[in-house]
Amino acid sequence: MQIIDNPNKNTWADILKRPTQTVGDIEGIVNEVFSEVRQNGDKAIKTYTEKFDGIALDNNVVSEAEIQEAIAQVPENLKKAINQAKQNIEAFHRAQKTEKVEVETTNGVLCWQEKRPIQKVGLYIPGGTAPLFSTVLMLAVPAQIAGCKEIVLCSPPNKKGALAPEILFAAHLCGVTKIIKVGGIQAISGLTLGTETIPQVYKIFGPGNQFVTVAKQLATKFGVAIDMPAGPSELLVVADDSANAAYIASDLLSQAEHGTDSQVILVSTSNELIENVSKEVEEQLNVLPRKAIAEKAIANSKLIYVENDETALEMIDEYGPEHFIVCSKNEELYVNGISNAGSVFIGNYTPESAGDYASGTNHTLPTNGFSKAYSGVNLDSFQKSMTFQKISKEGIFNIGETIELMAEAEGLQAHRNAVSIRLKDLK
């Protein structure tokens, strides 16, 4: 890991740059896949699955028999763990339900807001080097609580043409209505455009690599919404000499092992801690099964010394991390002061892994600085807020003249007439 000592503010942008390709580098292949899927549907999906995933599938829809077989393969202790995680995720997301908001703005003018579920949603579950069945819980649980009618799950098949049993078990547990063995750009294009076997949805959720992220952004051009741009994983830890170096190293490596394009950063007011964390990373890295992946991610990562907490907070807000861990005596400054972060983990005993799996918060979060404008996935992500109003005779008398005057001032006579005609009948 690169150690950077007290960098000048005008160098922060370069230091904090993500190790990702630009949209321009990826957009060509994404557009090509979308064009092919639009023209040839499942035939194109099959071609790209063979090209990108190395498997030719005669049928990409998961059958009930496959689901039952998968359920039988999942060990009982893991089923219990998945169920406990599901319960915690349910508890946190059910607590996000809000009641109807109703107010009489003027006598006779009643306005209210209600939530309605998005009827058709697509969930993208990364496969690749690590089939993330935990993401099934993070997306399908709030979709089910929200009341989404169609929950379509896409995930890339392995070399045997199957999905991980854990993914199928979690999907069945959470009420997913259709499971498709397709990943990458072709999955996003299928959910966006619809094919013979992949339903077109209204909104697409889920993290993925850089190609999936760009594909999701392209989906919006076709009228399909997305949760957020959620690309390669990233973590920033802020710590002082009160922190445990071994714990911090384990947190940094937990995100580094996601993928070679992941990024992890430590910002600290203690040079001694930085040295100790660097040594711990090397020691812990050597025993990881995914050492080769984590090693490449660590090469993109930084250990940054700053003089004080205020400078650290300013730098962190500029970066806008996906995951933000606070291990500092000055905890309150960071917790109350942070404006840009996807999810915050506080204290020496709050590993980021807890949020990834079982504490209850959602792990589908904005990356690449998008935490400056986007929220992580939550119950509202699967709902729309609809407003209603009902105006009585008294109400139209009370606000009628206001509407007439404003409409006339904007030069919209028909708008004025829509009120005037009513007022005339009531006089």
**256 in Cβ contact with 354 (< 8 Å):** no
Tell me what pLDDT residue 209 has.
Answer: 85
374 marked among binding-site residues: no
pLDDT digits (tens, 9 = 90+) for 238-268: 999 999 999 999 999 999 998 888 999 999 9
Residue 209 DSSP SS3: coil
- Which of 93, 172, 323, 363 is an active site residue? 323
> Do 201 and 123 contact (CB within 8 A), yes or no?
no
Arch. (CATH architecture) of 392-426: Up-down Bundle (1.20)
403-426 residues labelled b (16+ CB within 10 A) or e (exposed): bbeebeeeeeeeebeebbeeeeee
410 assigned binding-site residue: yes
- So what's the pLDDT on residue 22? 61
Cβ-based neighbours of 323, under 8 Å, separated by 6 or more = 233, 234, 235, 236, 255, 341, 342, 343, 345, 352, 355, 365
The annotation status of 323 as a binding-site residue, yes or no, is: yes
In this structure, how many other beta carbons lie within 10 angstroms of the beta carbon of residue 132? Answer: 23
Specify the pairing of strand 120-124 against strand 203-205: parallel
Q: Which of 368, 369, 366, 371 is nearest to 339 (CA)?
A: 371
23-98+115-230: same fold as 2-17+232-360? yes
Binding residue per annotation — 356?
A: yes
Q: Look up tokens 């989906």; give the residue.
A: 219
Describe the chain by its helix, strand, coil percentages, rounded to 5. 50, 15, 35
Catalytic-labelled residue, pool 234, 257, 280, 322 = 322
Residue 40 CA to residue 35 CA, distance in Å, equals 9
C-alpha torsion 416→420→422→423, nearest 10: 140
Q: How many residues does this entry show for the chain?
A: 427
Q: Which residues contact 153 (CB under 8 A, 6 or more apart)?
A: 122, 123, 125, 136, 140, 171, 176, 178, 179, 180
255 is annotated as contributing to ligand binding: yes
For the chain, residues with pLDDT lower than 50 are none
What per-residue confidence (pLDDT) applies to 74? 97
Task: Give whole-number Cα distances, 358 to 91, 246, 298, 362, 404, in Å.
Answer: 11, 22, 26, 9, 56
Does the structural domain 23-98+115-230 have CATH classification 3.40.50.1980?
yes
pTM of the model: 0.93
The CA-to-CA distance between both ends of the chain, in Å, stands at 79
Spatial distance between the Cα atoms of 256 and 297, rounded to a whole number of angstroms: 5
Confirm or reject CATH 3.40.50.1980 for domain 2-17+232-360, answering yes or no. yes
The domain spans of the chain are 2-17+232-360, 23-98+115-230, 392-426
Half-sphere exposure of 94 (CA within 13 A, CB side): 6
Neighbours of 377 (CB within 10 A): 27
The rounded distance, in Å, linking the Cα atoms of 49 and 71 is 25
For 219-270, the three-class secondary structure string (H helix, E strand, C coil) is HHHHCCEECCCCCCCEEEEEECCCCCHHHHHHHHHHHHCCCCCCEEEEEECC
Looking at residue 375, the DSSP 8-state letter turns out to be P
295 is catalytic: no
Query: What are the tens digits of pLDDT across the range 40-97?
Result: 999 999 999 999 999 999 999 999 999 999 999 999 999 999 999 999 999 999 999 9
Strand 383-391, strand 109-117: pairing: antiparallel
The answer to the question of whether 172 is labelled as a binding residue is: no
Is 261 known to sit in a ligand binding site?
Answer: no
| Residue 200 is labelled as binding a ligand | no
Q: What angle in degrees, to the nearest 10, is found between the helix axes of 76-94 and 165-173? A: 40
Extended beta strands in 86-176, E state: 101-106, 109-117, 120-124, 150-155
Report the pLDDT value the prediction gives residue 259, as an integer from 0 to 100: 85
Percent of the chain with pLDDT over 90: 91
The packing angle between helices 23-40 and 42-53, to 10°, is 140
Which helix (H) or strand (E) covers residue 344, if one does? strand 343-346
Q: Which residue has the tokens 């379509």?
A: 152
21 is in an annotated binding site: no
What are the distances in angstroms from CA 400 to CA 110, 294, 424?
15, 65, 11
Query: Would you state the pLDDT for residue 21?
Result: 58
Q: Does 415 carry a binding-site annotation?
A: yes
- Catalytic site residue 323? yes
